[in-house]
Structure 1
Amino acid sequence: MNDSQKLLIIGLDGATWDILMPLIKMKKLSTLEKLVKNGSWGILESTVPPVTGSAWLAIATGKTPGKTGIIDFLNKKDDSYKLYPTTSSDFKGHSFWDYLSKANKKVGIFNYPMLYPPYKVNGFMISGLGSSPDDDISYPPALKEELEYVTGKYEIYVDYHNKKYENLDLFISDLNNFLEKFEKWIYYLVKNKEWDTLFLVFSATDWVQHIMWRHIDDSHPLYEPKVSPKYKKEFIKFWQRIDKILGNLLRMVKDDTIVFLVSDHGFGPNDQMFNLAKWLEMKGYMVRKRNIKKLIKKYAYKSATIVAKTPLRKLFSTKTRKSVGNVLRTSIADEIDFEKSKAYCLGHTIPFGAIYINASNEKEREEIKARLLYDLKNISKDIGKEVEVQIYEPKKLYSGEKVNLLPDIIFTINNWRCVIIEDNFDKPLFEEKPFSTRHTGSHRLNGIFLAYGPGIKKGQRVDAKICDIAPTILHIFGLPIPNDMDGRVLMEIFEEDSEFAKRKQKYIDPSYYEKKGEDKKLKNAIKSLKLKGKI
């Protein structure tokens, strides 16, 4: 194990070569141009579905949703019809930074999505999306105060969904103010904290593409010839600012530092909507309860108390709690008569459709699934327009101890171009328009990967999967890889005469790191007793 090895990992949420490569060729992004020319790079295939909640977890753990049970921000955790938020408990103990910590490596994790509440590591951890700046979002706890001393009040999110951002100039202004703080935080951490590996996640790259895609794509139905060119320039300026920050980070770290760039998914246009809830009811799979209006009214009161009186209150800020309350209040699960329903949806995130089958035995399950697959393949007849449907069966796609928690069917329409609505029976079955004027771009499967630094090949093309990041990181540090990881070490990125290429890959049982953790505790206890003169 190389005791002096440093690794800087930069997460660019939603980054896609479809955007970056044209800008590089236009000589707009000098830092990224340098990294591509002098590093190994290519596609990073995301999870199915390509959603923040599942994808960042897969990067950290090297595991697919079959082993984590996570496909979204909210997920099934048991046999009930409820969804629960992804939290740090889904990461803790089996993320690459946990293994590095137990191997006495200093780790820094900043702004990592769904990693709330933060927990103790050998270094520091700051939660990102899914947490609230009003709560304890850092380990050590005092670190948040340090960052606020640098910039003033801590922020996590510019809520591009907010109707006030119909005024796009206001969004751009607020985003730039946020980036000013963000830039100072990451520079402070790089300069002032001890780390062997540092993971910095930029979430703003995702928000910008959601809200501004219609202005950069002249084929988008909401493209406006009179104003879109102005906002396309602003979009390019945003990426140039990110590129400049990357350049500053490269200058701040030592020359022997390896740098990774990763994104959790790619991006593309959204200009269609399909109503899964309406379709399942129309086809006779899902049955609604009677007196729904009365039920929703009753639940409107209950939802507020659910958020206020459970751990959810700690997970979200007051503003976000209200939003979660709205989700709970109109939760589609409370409208469904599960005893009469053969299949159902639960209101997952809009980039994909998720169908769960309600069956008493395996034979019945297979019969219902066969009917569903047939109907999905012929969905154009129901829509009245020719569309392409991409269908995935997670229980065939993935394996693992939590695979049975996953939906029976995940699907998308027109290669993720069409968002799938699961939580509203009243909207039309199909519409040729985006989800909203503030959501005109949506997720795609192919994100980005780039590696740069000593021992890394120059100009090497890579086809990587999202679960490959964690085992590759452990290999760089000369550490054994838990054999329950689904990813592989990206050996093709290493120069043939480098120590990384010569080093043999070693796989071990995950309990190896548990033992290392206990050994470390024992050594620290003995050291403490010696200092106190007890032994």
Structure 2
Amino acid sequence: MTRVLVIGLDGATWDLLKPWADSGELPTFKELMEKGSWGGLRSTIPPWTIPAWDSMTAGKSPQKLGYATFMVKDGYKFVPYRLKRARQELIWDILSEHGYKNIVANLPNVYSSKRINGIMVAGWLNLGKDDLAYPQGIMEEISSFCGEYMIDIFDVDLEKGIIVSGPQTDKEYLERCKSLFKNHSCAFDYLINNKEWNFAFLVFVTTDRLQHRFWKESVLLSHYKEIDEWLGKLVERLDDETVLILVSDHGFGPVRYTLNINELLLSKGYLRLKKEDKPNATNAVFRFVKKSRLLPIARKIIKLLPQKTRERLIKKARPVGLDKLNIEWSNTIAFAYEPSGEIYINLKGREPHGAVSIEDYETVRDEIAKIIESLEYNGDKLRIKVLKKEEAYPGSGVFDILPDLVIVPTDDGVQAIDPKIGHGEIITRNDGSFGNHRLMGIFLAYGPGIKKGQKIEGAKIYDVAPTILHIFGLPIPKDMDGRVLMDIFEDDSEFERRKPKYVDPSYYERKKADEKLKKAIKNLKLKGKI
């Protein structure tokens, strides 16, 4: 019987993997590319963890999901997406309903485990250890074999969508990542070697964590070599009925320019603050010190100050987010919240204190997009890519909660967005020593029925779910936005001969209802009631 094993490498990019594979640094990746089908995997817009993993596992675009970022707009507040949208039916739910055994471990979009036909371990957005894993007792089983299970290198405040604690020094950061990879690779090995499964989806997040902090070959190559070695051992154990798929939720690259988006909107009069929240003298002094390269001296002086004075100074000088600003909403035209590049228009009839009429909506969007696209740094034009809502999310409406404009990270534009106020500059020049997300992730398929040495083009993140359903011979719900990646299958293979079958979403709803009825009848028979 066919099995599918999906390994997720959060943030992996062919920009790193292919040169290292070609040079022989990553022999397993090289072998998989030569004996499988591979290519880029276009992520969601913006290319962020949420909604990317949801789009991948639901087969749906952000527009269909109803959210484009982790924090979604609720008036002028922003709340975690899970509070505003119902949980989607994901690939393992469909497979469970058809009797397939599943192992799902460490996917970032799984914030709490649920009952499936198999095993589920939640990812780093987990709400609490009580619902970390299903079934009961599996976490103790894993921990007895691998040591106490680690969720991530950070602790996250899920209500605010921010990291609240984690490693402080580079050394501690590297050590935590190394420990996390060792812990997760052990857990994954234990599950796939000792448990029954037809479908498994396992995700490593250390790739993302390291690339955010260090865009250095010495650090990243060392880690990918660890992954390559683990993959090599995994491939040796695969039987001739298992299809292996490697994916990432988005790509990655170095950060050279950061756009401080609310600083721009503030400077152009689109964002208005009440008088008490306007940048203060303390901010100006710290900005001058930073630009004058006097920061090391200033730090030494600050350390000599009384603790309360020191804390007060640092607090005043630190850039602050939208949620901590006293905004004059009735005179605000546009605003941004997350570091993912989304911009919202303060539209009348949609926002509590809207200032832009529906007649002016298009003009305002055009103005803001033009300003952003014309930005320069020291006379050098930045080729910043800005998309309107309907370009990023076809079929979206003016009055939904999706962003009105989205800035897409590109190598020749800006690579990071900072919504905080207090930087004192619109564009921050970075040295490229740390990384951030890009639009193009990775896809690779290897195993029986898969073409060898095939480079594919045009794959999108929501093509993964329908392709997996097709491999299992299951019909694809018509509300999935993705397509089956038919070009990965060998000519005349079972997968290639089988034509994709599409069904109304109610097909699976009816099937689920039928299964519940069968179970209820079976239970009644066992109790002697019928």
TM-score by length of 1: 0.83
1:425-478, CA deviations, whole angstroms, 9 ceiling, x for partnerless residues? Answer: 44422221259x7xx111111111000111111111112111100111111111
Is the counterpart of residue 530 in structure 1 residue 528 in structure 2? no
Amino acid at match of 1:69: G
CA–CA separation in structure 2 for the residues paired with 1:510 and 1:89: 22
Contact 2:167 2:176 in 1 (8 A): no
Counterpart mapping for 1:93-492 below 5 A: 93-131=88-126, 134-159=129-154, 167-213=169-215, 215-216=216-217, 232=218, 234-292=219-277, 330-332=321-323, 334-346=325-337, 348-349=338-339, 352-360=340-348, 361-380=357-376, 385-400=380-395, 404-412=400-408, 415=411, 417-433=414-430, 440-463=434-457, 464-492=459-487
CA–CA separation in structure 2 for the residues paired with 1:239 and 1:479: 34
Amino acid at match of 1:285: Y
Is the counterpart of residue 48 in structure 1 residue 45 in structure 2? yes
CA–CA separation in structure 1 for the residues paired with 2:430 and 2:391: 33
Contact 1:212 1:441 in 2 (8 A): yes
Deviation at 1:479, TM superposition (A): 0.9
Deviation at 1:133, TM superposition (A): 6.2
Contact 2:345 2:404 in 1 (8 A): yes
CA–CA separation in structure 2 for the residues paired with 1:108 and 1:21: 29
- Segments of structure 1 that go 5 or more residues without pairing to the other structure are 217-231, 294-326
CA–CA separation in structure 2 for the residues paired with 1:402 and 1:525: 42
TM-score by length of 2: 0.83
Deviation at 1:65, TM superposition (A): 0.9
Residues 246 and 502 (structure 1), Cα distance of their counterparts in 2 relative to 1, 3 Å cut: same
1:284-315, CA deviations, whole angstroms, 9 ceiling, x for partnerless residues? Answer: 1111134339xxxxxxxxxxxxxxxxxxxxxx
- Segments of structure 2 that go 5 or more residues without pairing to the other structure are 156-162, 279-317, 349-356
Is the partner of 2:455 in helix, strand or coil? Answer: strand
CA–CA separation in structure 1 for the residues paired with 2:189 and 2:106: 14
CA–CA separation in structure 2 for the residues paired with 1:90 and 1:105: 27
CA–CA separation in structure 2 for the residues paired with 1:91 and 1:248: 39
| Corresponding residue for residue 8 of structure 2 | 11
Following superposition, which runs of at least 4 residues in structure 1 exceed 6 angstroms of deviation? 160-164
Contact 1:388 1:413 in 2 (8 A): no
Sequence identity percentage = 40
Residues 83 and 490 (structure 1), Cα distance of their counterparts in 2 relative to 1, 3 Å cut: same
Deviation at 1:533, TM superposition (A): 3.1
CA–CA separation in structure 2 for the residues paired with 1:52 and 1:164: 19
Amino acid at match of 1:283: K
Is the partner of 1:362 in helix, strand or coil? Answer: coil
Deviation at 1:400, TM superposition (A): 4.7
CA–CA separation in structure 1 for the residues paired with 2:267 and 2:382: 18
CA–CA separation in structure 2 for the residues paired with 1:131 and 1:30: 34
Is the partner of 1:43 in helix, strand or coil? Answer: strand
CA–CA separation in structure 1 for the residues paired with 2:395 and 2:270: 28
Is the counterpart of residue 26 in structure 1 residue 14 in structure 2? no
Is the partner of 2:202 in helix, strand or coil? Answer: strand
CA–CA separation in structure 2 for the residues paired with 1:67 and 1:388: 29
| Corresponding residue for residue 83 of structure 1 | 78
Contact 2:467 2:484 in 1 (8 A): yes
Contact 2:102 2:198 in 1 (8 A): yes
| Corresponding residue for residue 315 of structure 1 | none
Residues 397 and 107 (structure 1), Cα distance of their counterparts in 2 relative to 1, 3 Å cut: same
Contact 1:88 1:118 in 2 (8 A): no
Deviation at 1:355, TM superposition (A): 1.1
Deviation at 1:100, TM superposition (A): 1.2
Contact 1:81 1:333 in 2 (8 A): no
Contact 2:387 2:406 in 1 (8 A): yes
Residues 368 and 88 (structure 1), Cα distance of their counterparts in 2 relative to 1, 3 Å cut: closer
Q: In terms of mean alpha carbon deviation, does 457-466 or 408-417 score higher?
A: 408-417
Counterpart mapping for 1:488-507 below 5 A: 488-507=483-502
Contact 2:273 2:327 in 1 (8 A): yes
Amino acid at match of 1:406: L
Contact 2:44 2:439 in 1 (8 A): yes
Deviation at 1:370, TM superposition (A): 2.0
Amino acid at match of 1:428: E
| Corresponding residue for residue 304 of structure 2 | none
Q: In terms of mean alpha carbon deviation, does 520-529 or 198-207 score higher?
A: 520-529
Contact 1:263 1:449 in 2 (8 A): yes
| Corresponding residue for residue 59 of structure 1 | 56
Amino acid at match of 1:358: N
Q: Tell me how large the CA RMSD over aligned residues is.
A: 2.7
Residues 136 and 91 (structure 1), Cα distance of their counterparts in 2 relative to 1, 3 Å cut: same
CA–CA separation in structure 2 for the residues paired with 1:175 and 1:142: 26
Deviation at 1:72, TM superposition (A): 2.1
Deviation at 1:27, TM superposition (A): 1.1
Is the partner of 2:12 in helix, strand or coil? Answer: coil
1:384-410, CA deviations, whole angstroms, 9 ceiling, x for partnerless residues? Answer: 542111111132332356782111111
| Corresponding residue for residue 319 of structure 1 | none
Contact 2:213 2:435 in 1 (8 A): yes
Amino acid at match of 1:356: Y
Amino acid at match of 2:212: H
Contact 1:455 1:499 in 2 (8 A): yes
CA–CA separation in structure 2 for the residues paired with 1:145 and 1:89: 33
